[in-house]
Structure 1
Amino acid sequence: VQFLNVTEDGKKLLTRSFIVFLKPNNLAFSRIGITASRKVGGAVARNRVKRIVREFFRLNKSRIEKGIDIVVIAKREAAGKGFAEVSRELERVLAPAFKFQSGDAEEKRG
């Protein structure tokens, strides 16, 4: 129900590999939901994409505003991308929303 609420009423941001929805949640913390349908690939490919996206948000949690629900939907193009490519894509789309500054991540992974 909460996923649907964010996807129906939230701000929609598009990248080549992801659809990202943002919506204020009136809580003292942010929540992140990640989904990848079978269009992305088999279970291994879907889980890898979700792990990479989760790691991106873990490394950047200090740069993300509190009180926002974020839903990331992986598109078919996300399959096979590495951490660096996914990070660049998500940073580019989230920069205006969260005032990301390039290179500020706690640690870089490649």
Structure 2
Amino acid sequence: MLGDRLKKLRTAKNLSQQELSQKLNLNRGTYAHYELNKRHPDYESLKKLSDIFNVSIDYLITGNEHSNSPEEMWKEFLDPKTQIFFKDLQDAPEEKIDELIRFWEFIKERDKKK
């Protein structure tokens, strides 16, 4: 899960929750809830985390190291206006997330042809 990956990445960089939360401009409790899977970061926080840890947003959310979906896709998925449609995304099994990504990419390609 996302929280497990965040904790693993943070400890690999020898950062405390306090140090990382300061880099993210969050309070430590908010960040701690990310690691406990009690809260999910918004797009901006995920982007900062991916930059700090030098990993893709795909990896943070899905755990898939070999996938690199466009950041614009994640921005749309995680936008509060559209998140109601994808509220279960971050807790979904990886294969379902991969399927949803493929479906989204299909829709975008289809719309380009119109």
TM-score (norm 2): 0.29
| Bigger helix fraction | 2
State TM-score, norm by structure 1: 0.30
Decide which structure has greater strand share: 1
